[in-house]
Amino acid sequence: MVQKLDRLKESPSQTAGPYVHIGAMPNWVEITGVWKEDLGLVLVGPETKGERVVVKGHIYDGGGTPLKDALVEIWQADAQGLYNSPRERRGKADPHFTGWGRQPTDGVTGEYKFETIKPGCVPYRDGRLMAPHITFWIVARGINIGLHTRMYFGDEEAANAECPVLARIEHKVRVPTLIASRSEENGMPTYTFDIHLQGEKETVFFDI
Amino acid sequence: MSDHESFYHRDRSWHPPAFTPQYKTSILRSPQYPLLSLDNTISEMTGPVFGHDRLGPLDNDLIRNFAKTGDPIGQRIIVYGRVLDENARPVPGALLEFWQANAGGRYRHKKETYLAALDPNFGGCGRTITDEEGRYWFRTIKPGAYPWPNGINDWRPAHIHFSIFGHAFAQRLITQMYFEGDPMIWQCPIVSTIPDRQAVEQLIAALDRENTLPMDALAYKFDIVLRGRRSTMFENRMEGN
């Protein structure tokens, strides 16, 4: 026998199930009057600094059907590349930008949509800059443990080419699964980021 | 910020794998490529925080927070516990959100079709934030078991869903709490996605008669463990544990 390390095990994950919205966004499923507004719906206010953008897309299963019961959370830096978190030690983030958003995939169309700002660059562990990115966390019925991925910006070709995280992807043919294409819709820069859970176009998911 | 403040790697053999054919929906929703291992960067070591000012006084009282004409039907219970990290240190300021079916096993959701009745006095959602010692508690009614379309005759054991925000996005977790002594736990295709019996037992809340409110409510204790941070030996002060 040796001494014990006295560590605990992380609680095992279980699927969020089909009714995750009851807990995460009750007003959206017409459970009203419990709390005023669902958390994470609004990221940007009039005083938020940075370029306004829309991020939207679908999440497809291995049969090509969009998920209509998923919950998507995003976490991102502000326009200067700082996170609005007590763990951010490099400076003070924009107080008018939380950096965290949460949206459902639509119950009919399967589309999710965030109105946010384009984040600045954040350094990698060794100090090199990572390209601007948004962290995604996806849960749904049939997903046993939340899936982490990242969205990069299609118009940041130079930064993407230098990004030390994208460089870690051995199968280069899969890098485009993390890059959202830019277009303009209703006068707003719009990034479309479709996520494929399975199949030829399977998105790169991270074990972070 | 280099090595310090990153988290212990997730033990993927303790969690359910993505592909679990006995839970049919997972078949087409499970990534098949290996996950790309990424040592935490600032993007994962930071995370949103939620102040206590976000909460209303009834947010952790599911018996009262939706009640229209009286209390909901069902066994009154108190669920309490602590949120800890893998270093056994409390996690203060953690936002917990929970949701559940009513006493008949029916959810209040527009896509729910089970024939058990809705309870006009039960919404089924609540939330709270852990205190300085990582403690939390809420009051609710015990949810019922219910059938679900997977096999012809599959039933979920009574359970409460939990969503937990720690201090970093790397700690983000959703899980479910089960109830001590429920034989249905061991017949459930979703529970059995967890390969290790001890890991399942970590999700079973203990009946705690010492904290029962006499003539009022039973108590169940449910501790939750989030990922722990590495120490920072030689680099900085010992921060992780």
Domains, chain A, with CATH or none:
40-196 (2.60.130.10)
Q: In chain B, which among 96-115 make CB contacts under 8 A with chain A? A: 97-99, 107-112
**Cβ–Cβ contact B33 with A under 8 A:** yes
Q: Is B234 helix (H, G, I), strand (E, B) or coil?
A: coil
Per residue, the 3-state secondary structure of chain A, as one string, reads CCCCCCCCCCCCCCCCCCCHHHHHCHHHHCCCCCCCCCCCCCCECCCCCCCEEEEEEEEECCCCCECCCCEEEEECCCCCCCCCCCCCCCCCCCCCECCEEEEECCCCCCEEEEEEECCCCEECCCCCEECCEEEEEEECCCCCCCEEEEEEECCCHHHHHHCCCHHHCCCHHHHHHHEEEEEEECCEEEEECCEECCCCCCCCCEEC
Whether B176 maps to a domain, the answer reads yes
pTM exceeds cut of 0.80: yes
Only one residue has tokens 């205190």, namely: B131
Q: How many CB pairs under 8 A join A and B?
A: 264
Whether B4 maps to a domain, the answer reads no
pLDDT tens, residue by residue, A63-121: 999 999 999 999 999 999 999 999 999 999 999 999 999 999 999 999 999 999 999 99
Q: Is B84 helix (H, G, I), strand (E, B) or coil?
A: strand
Instruction: Name the average pLDDT for chain A.
Output: 97
User: Residue B66: which of A34, A143, A168 has the nearest Cβ?
Assistant: A34
Whether B87 maps to a domain, the answer reads yes
The torsion angle over the Cα atoms of residues A199, A202, A207 and A208, rounded to 10 degrees, is -160
Q: In chain B, which among 111-150 make CB contacts under 8 A with chain A? A: 111-112, 123-127
* Residue-by-residue pLDDT tens, chain A, 208 positions: 899 999 999 999 999 999 999 999 999 999 999 999 999 999 999 999 999 999 999 999 999 999 999 999 999 999 999 999 999 999 999 999 999 999 999 999 999 999 999 999 999 999 999 999 999 999 999 999 999 999 999 999 999 999 999 999 999 999 999 999 999 999 999 999 999 999 999 999 999 9
Whether B78 maps to a domain, the answer reads yes
Chain B interface disruption, residue of A97, A133, A144, A203, most B CBs within 10 A: A144
Mean pLDDT by 10 residues, chain B (241 residues): 74 98 98 96 96 93 97 98 98 98 96 95 98 98 97 98 98 98 98 98 98 97 97 60 48
Q: What is the CATH number of the domain that holds B176?
A: 2.60.130.10
Whether B195 maps to a domain, the answer reads yes
User: Residue B97: which of A23, A100, A126 has the nearest Cβ?
Assistant: A23
Q: Which two tokens stand for residue B81?
A: 């516990």
pLDDT at residue B237 in the model: 54
**Cβ–Cβ contact A22 with B under 8 A:** yes
Q: Which two tokens stand for residue A92?
A: 């003070």
Q: Is B156 helix (H, G, I), strand (E, B) or coil?
A: strand
Please answer yes or no on whether A208 and B38 come within 8 Å at the CB atom: yes
Q: Contacts of residue B16 in chain A, CB cutoff 8 Å? A: 12-14, 144-145
DSSP assigned state of B74: S
Q: Contacts of residue B30 in chain A, CB cutoff 8 Å? A: 62, 142-144, 197-198
The amino acid at B107: Y
- What is the H or E stretch that residue B219 is in? strand B218-221
CA distances from A93 to A2, A49, A81, A99 (A): 46, 10, 8, 9
Closest CA to B210 of B225, B200, B220, B222: B220
- The whole-angstrom separation of Cα B175 and Cα A11 is 8
Whether B112 maps to a domain, the answer reads yes
Domain range for B128 = 59-226
- The whole-angstrom separation of Cα A167 and Cα A130 is 10
- The whole-angstrom separation of Cα B213 and Cα B197 is 31
Only one residue has tokens 């599911």, namely: B62
Contact at 8 Å (CB) between B138 and A58? no
Contact at 8 Å (CB) between B223 and B204? no
pLDDT at residue B194 in the model: 98
Contact at 8 Å (CB) between B53 and B13? no
pLDDT at residue B192 in the model: 98
Whether B241 maps to a domain, the answer reads no
CA atoms within 13 A on the CB side of B111: 15
A23 to chain B nearest CA, in Å? 5
- The whole-angstrom separation of Cα B194 and Cα B208 is 25
A186 to chain B nearest CA, in Å? 30
Q: Is B117 exposed, middle or buried (0-12, 13-18, 19+ CB in 10 A)?
A: exposed
- The whole-angstrom separation of Cα A118 and Cα B80 is 40
As annotated, the active-site residues of B are 107, 146, 156, 159, 161
**Cβ–Cβ contact A89 with B under 8 A:** yes
CA distances from B41 to A74, A157, A168, B44 (A): 16, 21, 13, 6
Whether B179 maps to a domain, the answer reads yes
Into how many domains does chain B fold? Answer: 1
